[in-house]
Amino acid sequence: MTTLTQEQQRQEAEQLEELEEREAIIQRLLKDEDDDELGSYDNQLLKRLFGYVRPYRTQLIWAIILMSVSSLLSVAGPWLIGQTLDSGVEQNNLQQVRFWTLIFAISVLVEWATNKGRIAIMAYVGTGVVADIRSALFRHLHKLSLSFHINYSVGRLMSRLIGDVSVIQDFITWSITGLFRSFFALFGIIVAMLWLNWQLALLSFVVLPIMVIATNVWRKQVRLAYRASRRRSSLMTGYLNESITGIRVTKSFSREPKNASFFDMLNRSFYEANIRAAKLTAYFFPSVDFVGSLSMAIVVGVGGWMITQGSLTPGVLLAFVLYVQRFFEPIRELAQRFNVFQSTMASTERIFELLDRQPDLQDSPTAVPLPRIEGTVRFENVGFGYKVDEPVLRGISLEALPGQQIALVGETGAGKSTIIRLLARFFDVTDGRITIDGHDIRDVTQASLREQLGVVLQDTFLFSGSIMDNIRYGRLDGTDDEVIAAATAVGADEFISKLPQGYHTDVGENGVNMSVGQRQILSFARALLANPRILVLDEATSSVDTATEKQIQSALEKLLAGRTSFVIAHRLNTIVKSDKIVVLENGQVAEMGTHEELLALHGRYFNLYTMQWATQGLAAERSK
């Protein structure tokens, strides 16, 4: 069994702590969910949603026209059947039977064609709107600050990008014109029934108050149910994503039973929310059918009596029965559409909530592009904390001149990575300021700052695609020769050339086909090709073995030449040639100087350096 290093153990402990904190947040969200009050109907929400439909208004108008024709023909159907009975069958007139049958067949054919056209158009509109919303979400997520992505799980974001947007697609494709069609058909049926026999029509409408009351009660309850269902689905998806991604941590700490128990709780809560919605539906739609059957029974009974009295013809009664049957179809459809509508509103709320989030860091209105820099970096009494009243850095002051290499060392939690994040302006300082060539980085655009800043992280991420594409990621206009030159400079060409497809080898998802060391070396090549003026190596060699580290050391010296660089390293032997070594302790500068100067002080750096050499020597003895 492979022994984990102290750094790996620390990382896994942090991941475990984050997972437990996330579980506490989920528990609180589920508890607070029951206290949510159903807000009033928000017209603004629909207005914003239809803002995405507006570019397709021409197609929508055509769909409404086709819907109107199909609805009109649908309403005319029972009357045509009644005419066939009264004018043809009752009068024993075969010619009339043929005529009205032909008219009915033509109306059915045209209704089918217009329905087909309407559905095809709305499928196009729905797909287009969903593509536009997903693009807007994708662009917006990339604008949000790093702090948002740190605190928001990938699973919950995927739930909104995929699940919630798909709900909107179903609504636009089927429900928009479907709602119009149902209202149009209902109005047409009411007019037709009143025209045929207003007394029998009014008698049919006696049951409507029952329907209105039942619909209103059901509407309020089902929206709460769907809101809970969508939220719980998001929480479950997010936790599932985290659990699978962190499966190594789960197994390392034997968390399988607890994770399974917690997921069962989430799964059960999602199940209960869906069961609640299903029960509401099970009560409502049979009630609609019952009221419809009751109305039809009244029509058949009274209509039959009217026929015996000679005040109603059999054809009119047949048409009336069909109209009563169809009268409750649009009501049923409206209820179903409302069912979809409630689910859509729940999803739309979640999507627009995400789109309304503003980045924690934004360019100031007066921000200007950062001109090409020489590389002088100054931290002037910088203070920072991720949380209020919990400072991470206190009074950091240091200077890096063009071409200098600044090494940051210290124990875990000393603030090394925080300094790098502030330099890249992933976060803003709370005290003091950071300047590059005299420009306060808060006064320049973030894009122009990061274009001249290259960062190589400890956890290297490779995107699906070829090695060539991944090296070119930081500079898309780089030629193949420039990519190969960058790879050669850091020693990557040696192993790339041995691969079956060379630079066109697929790295797999997150570089699964590459070793940890190979992924790290490719990240060096990517940074080199981008040609930044300031280069940051955040423990960038911690994932490579000693042999690989020696292989890239000489290449790194060439990389860093002429560039201002900040290097974070746990292996102190990699930074002994740095122009300046900054020793951090509890968020403050404890010592600063060259390797020789700091060793001569016999202070904090001396202890770290000698301790590390002693540890390495002991490990070497054990390996013999």
Token pair, residue 64, equals 């409404």
Q: Tell me, what's the pLDDT at 329?
A: 75
Q: For 390-407, what is each residue's pLDDT tens digit?
A: 888 999 999 999 989 999
3-state secondary structure of 523: helix
Of residues 340 and 165, more confidence is placed in 165
Give the DSSP H or E segment for 555: helix 546-560
Are 366 and 180 in contact by the 8 Å Cβ rule? The answer is no
Would you give the DSSP letter of residue 101? Answer: H
Q: Tell me, what's the pLDDT at 614?
A: 52
Q: Tell me, what's the pLDDT at 378?
A: 94
Token pair, residue 270, equals 């999602």
Tell me what the mean pLDDT of segment 534-538 comes to.
Answer: 85
Tell me what the mean pLDDT of segment 112-135 comes to.
Answer: 88
In terms of Cβ atoms closer than 10 Å to its own Cβ (0-12, 13-18, 19+), residue 449 is buried
Q: Is the pLDDT of residue 294 over 80?
A: no
Tell me what the mean pLDDT of segment 604-623 comes to.
Answer: 64
332 bridge partner residues:
none
Q: Tell me, what's the pLDDT at 195?
A: 81
What is the widest separation between alpha-carbon atoms in the chain? 120
386 half-sphere exposure, CB direction, 13 A CA radius: 14
User: Which long-range CB contacts under 8 A does 201-208 form with residues at least 24 apart?
Assistant: 203/298, 203/299, 203/302, 204/295, 204/298, 204/299, 204/320, 204/324, 204/327, 206/295, 206/298, 207/291, 207/294, 207/295, 207/298
Alpha-carbon Rg for the chain in angstroms? 35
Q: For 144-192, what is each residue's pLDDT tens digit?
A: 877 777 677 676 677 777 778 888 887 887 777 777 777 777 788 788 7
Does the structural domain 460-531 have CATH classification 3.40.50.620?
no
Q: For 349-397, what is each residue's pLDDT tens digit?
A: 778 888 888 887 888 888 899 998 888 999 999 999 888 788 889 999 9
Q: What angle do CA 237, 239, 241 make, to 5 degrees?
A: 70
Q: Tell me, what's the pLDDT at 27?
A: 54
Classify 6-355 by CATH class.
mainly alpha
Q: What is the DSSP string of 120-158?
A: HHHHHHHHHHHHHHHHHHHHHHHHS-HHHHHHS-HHHHH
**How much is the mean pLDDT over the chain?**
78
Of residues 253 and 348, more confidence is placed in 348
Are 567 and 575 in contact by the 8 Å Cβ rule? The answer is yes
Q: What gap in Å lies between CA 53 and CA 64, rounded to an integer?
A: 14
Of residues 29 and 113, more confidence is placed in 113
Residue 449's contacts (CB-CB under 8 Å, 6 or more residues apart) are 370, 424, 425, 436, 441
Q: For 590-606, what is each residue's pLDDT tens digit?
A: 999 999 999 998 888 88
Q: Is the pLDDT of residue 608 over 70?
A: yes
Confidence band of 439 (pLDDT split at 50, 70, 90):
very high
Q: What gap in Å lies between CA 99 and CA 84, rounded to an integer?
A: 8
588 phi/psi in degrees, rounded to 5: -130, 160
Region for residue 593 given its phi and psi (left: phi exceeds 0; alpha: psi -120 to 50; beta: otherwise): left
Share of the chain above pLDDT 70, in %: 82
Confidence band of 447 (pLDDT split at 50, 70, 90):
confident
Residue 333's contacts (CB-CB under 8 Å, 6 or more residues apart) are 178, 181, 182
Q: For 185-223, what is each residue's pLDDT tens digit?
A: 778 878 877 887 777 778 777 777 777 777 777 766 776
Q: Is the pLDDT of residue 39 over 50?
A: no
Confidence band of 584 (pLDDT split at 50, 70, 90):
very high
Q: Is the pLDDT of residue 287 over 70?
A: yes
Domain with CATH 1.20.1560.10 in the chain: 6-355
Q: For 484-519, what is each residue's pLDDT tens digit?
A: 888 888 778 888 888 888 888 888 766 667 777 778
Domain with CATH 3.40.50.300 in the chain: 460-531
Q: What gap in Å lies between CA 169 and CA 181, rounded to an integer?
A: 18
Euclidean distance between the first and the last CA atom of the chain, given in angstroms as a whole number: 19
> Does pTM surpass 0.85?
no
Share of the chain above pLDDT 90, in %: 10
Q: What gap in Å lies between CA 501 and CA 291, rounded to an integer?
A: 70
3-state secondary structure of 546: helix
Tell me what the mean pLDDT of segment 538-560 comes to.
Answer: 65
Q: Is the pLDDT of residue 37 over 70?
A: no
Least confident segment among 71-85, 121-135, 381-395:
71-85
Q: For 3-29, what is each residue's pLDDT tens digit?
A: 445 555 555 555 555 555 555 555 555
439-440: strand order across its sheet: 393-400, 377-384, 431-436, 439-440
Neighbour-count burial for 176-208, b at 16+ CB within 10 Å, e otherwise: bbbbbbbebbbebbbebbeebbeebbebbeebe
Provide, for the chain, the percentages of residues in helix, strand and coil under a 3-state DSSP scheme, each rounded to the nearest 5: 70, 10, 20
